[in-house]
């Protein structure tokens, strides 16, 4: 058991940043707050770091970012030759994102590692693309994705543009753990590093090349499509504004209205406290715009622009929100239909989905002769599968990867979900069916009629602090020993913590019940939440 009071006193003595000093003084004598801030080090894994902003070892601040960066720098030095060590760096609109990016850049520079950094905030997929295009040793994206404003994070990418593997994460963690946060972190002033060429801004043509590559994902070929639809777009005060409006315009969608209040970067997210396109409340303002402007479709991207959610006008003139699963069904059917029609379906062809994504996806894929690969939750595992196909010399065999949490990718040019690509493909799909007089809701009804109607739900339960962490583990153990759930008898139970189905070990349980319904339970990897996914056949 660590001595949190001793750690607190050390930070009070060592920390110089005025904001952190003020916070440390503010919690003096508050044992519960001190415990929560220092009871553990912020967990580092394949997703890097993510946590609440503030002072302490269990918080996102310049010191926890610095320690992680020094650990990553040590890893790069071990694995790459001097003179060939480099990092791509990007950041989103969150509080302190630019600060953390500059701190990290200075530490890499101090360790002799060249930094290629976007001059302004840029989406996560653009970071992955920069790693691959510039050939860097690693990448760092400062973001907490869709989390509330009090969070920030630090995602680490390998030289393939994919989030780091379990093995790399373990090795980097070992380096982090032997780094003293106040004595072992090398630093260099950002402005000096920039002036001396140790840090260089990424050229504008890298973003242009990214946009051009996304445009190549089109599958409509010479099909007639109707791009006249009125689109409401919201970047939810994140990074999506420039690349998303650009891709829409360059693909011929001129009738686009941006939600003014959510147009510019703002880490406080004043009109959407939970900036997640999965959550209806985050789309409230966009839906108001859509109704007022008599729009055809609402499109929203999260702060780091790797997730995309939509709502479409229904027969009553109101708007229906589509789930991540439903958009995935539509995209898969759309892509397969047109690829087959135009003899553009690779052989073999693969789509990749996470184990919490609806199994209906696999039925659609099988119908079109496409193989399905199931992976653990997290798009890094989808990116890993693209890499494996690339090693086999068949990267073009990958046609789509998606997860129910609104993440999509149709090409192998990046190794993470890409909302710029998602927006482009959704708009193209909408325009293709619009030209035929078919709505996305009509098409979805047709899919359900063909394969069966499945309804998927996600329930999230919050467990804050040290006590919450313990409680989640207890609940997982109770589920692990259960023979029935909510009166339903469990027919099969998959415990992924045992390393089954050829997948890495993960604290995930999947139940199948007598009637064929399924349920998946897992702790979130990014928030103090327990997530329960249910999939029920309704006809």
Question: Which residue numbers are catalytic?
Answer: 145
Give Cα separations from 224 to 312, 343, 344, 412, 434 (angstroms).
21, 17, 18, 26, 10
Give Cα separations from 232 to 229, 271, 297, 451, 538 (angstroms).
10, 16, 6, 31, 32
Give yes or no for a contact between 355 and 377, defined as CB atoms under 8 angstroms apart. yes
| Pairwise CA distance, residues 526 & 47, whole Å | 8
Task: Measure CA 235 to chain center.
Answer: 15
Give Cα separations from 70 to 75, 185, 258 (angstroms).
9, 6, 40
Instruction: Write the DSSP assignment of 79-109 as a string of letters.
Output: HS-TT--EEEEEE-SSTTHHHHHHHHHHHHH
Q: Write down how long the chain is.
A: 539
| Pairwise CA distance, residues 284 & 392, whole Å | 45
| Pairwise CA distance, residues 50 & 154, whole Å | 6
Sheet-wide strand order for 199-201: 49-52, 151-157, 138-142, 86-91, 114-117, 199-201
| Pairwise CA distance, residues 398 & 162, whole Å | 15
Query: What pairs with residue 309 in β-bridges?
Result: 300
Give yes or no for a contact between 306 and 416, defined as CB atoms under 8 angstroms apart. yes
| Pairwise CA distance, residues 513 & 492, whole Å | 7
Give yes or no for a contact between 114 and 193, defined as CB atoms under 8 angstroms apart. no
| Pairwise CA distance, residues 160 & 65, whole Å | 23
**Which tokens belong to 90?**
């990007």
| Pairwise CA distance, residues 69 & 71, whole Å | 5
| Pairwise CA distance, residues 267 & 415, whole Å | 26
**Which tokens belong to 134?**
């510039």
Residue 489: phi and psi, rounded to 5, are -75, 135
Paired sense of beta strands 199-201 and 49-52, if any: unpaired
Query: Cα angle at 21 between 20 and 27, to 5 degrees?
Result: 90
| Of 445, 509, 453, 499, nearest in space to 478 by CA | 509
């Amino acid at each position: 058991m660590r001595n949190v009071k001793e750690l607190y006193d050390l930070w009070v003595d060592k920390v110089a940043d005025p904001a952190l000093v003020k916070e440390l003084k503010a919690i003096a004598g508050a044992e519960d707050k001190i415990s929560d801030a220092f009871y553990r080090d912020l967990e580092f894994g394949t997703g890097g770091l993510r946590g609440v902003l503030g002072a302490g070892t269990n918080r996102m601040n310049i010191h926890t970012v610095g320690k992680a960066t020094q650990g990553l720098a040590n890893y790069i030095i071990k694995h790459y030759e001097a003179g060939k060590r480099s990092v791509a760096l990007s950041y989103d609109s969150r509080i302190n994102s630019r600060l953390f990016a500059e701190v990290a850049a200075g530490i890499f520079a101090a360790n002799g590692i060249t930094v290629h950094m976007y001059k302004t905030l840029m989406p996560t997929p653009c970071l992955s693309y920069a790693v691959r295009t510039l050939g860097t040793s690693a990448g760092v994206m400062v973001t907490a994705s869709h989390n509330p404003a009090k969070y920030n994070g630090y995602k680490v990418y390998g030289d393939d543009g994919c989030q780091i593997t379990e093995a790399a994460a373990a090795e980097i963690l070992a380096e982090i753990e032997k780094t003293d946060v106040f004595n072992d972190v090398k630093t260099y002033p950002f402005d000096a590093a920039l002036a001396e060429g140790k840090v260089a801004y990424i050229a504008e043509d890298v973003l242009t090349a990214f946009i051009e590559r996304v445009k190549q994902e089109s599958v409509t070929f010479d099909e007639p499509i109707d791009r006249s639809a009125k689109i409401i777009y919201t970047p939810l005060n994140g990074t999506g504004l420039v690349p998303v409006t650009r891709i829409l315009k360059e693909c011929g969608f001129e009738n686009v209205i941006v939600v003014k209040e959510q147009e510019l970067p703002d880490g406080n997210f004043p009109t959407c406290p939970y900036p997640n396109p999965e959550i209806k409340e985050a789309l409230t303002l966009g839906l108001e715009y859509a109704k007022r402007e008599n729009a055809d479709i609402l499109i929203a991207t999260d702060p780091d622009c790797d997730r995309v959610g939509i709502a479409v006008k229904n027969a009553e003139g109101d708007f229906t929100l589509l789930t991540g699963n439903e958009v995935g069904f539509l995209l898969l059917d759309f892509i397969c239909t047109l690829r087959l029609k135009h003899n553009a379906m690779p052989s073999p062809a693969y789509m990749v989905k996470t184990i919490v994504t609806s199994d209906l996806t696999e039925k659609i894929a099988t119908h079109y002769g496409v193989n399905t690969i199931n992976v653990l939750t997290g798009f890094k595992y989808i990116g890993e599968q693209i890499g494996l196909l690339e090693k086999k010399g068949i990267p073009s065999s990958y046609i789509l990867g998606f997860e129910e949490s609104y993440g999509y990718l149709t090409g192998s040019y990046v190794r993470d979900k890409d909302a710029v690509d998602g927006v482009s493909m959704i708009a193209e799909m909408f325009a293709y069916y619009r030209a035929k007089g078919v709505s996305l809701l009509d098409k979805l009804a047709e899919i359900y009629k063909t394969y069966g109607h499945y309804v998927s739900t996600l329930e999230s339960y919050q467990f804050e602090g040290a006590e919450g962490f313990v409680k989640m583990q207890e609940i997982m153990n109770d589920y692990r020993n259960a023979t029935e759930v909510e009166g339903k008898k469990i027919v099969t139970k998959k415990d992924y913590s045992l390393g089954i189905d050829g997948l890495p070990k993960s604290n995930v349980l999947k139940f199948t019940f007598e009637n064929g319904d399924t349920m998946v339970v897992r702790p979130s990897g990014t928030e103090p939440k327990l997530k329960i996914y249910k999939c029920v056949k309704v006809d």
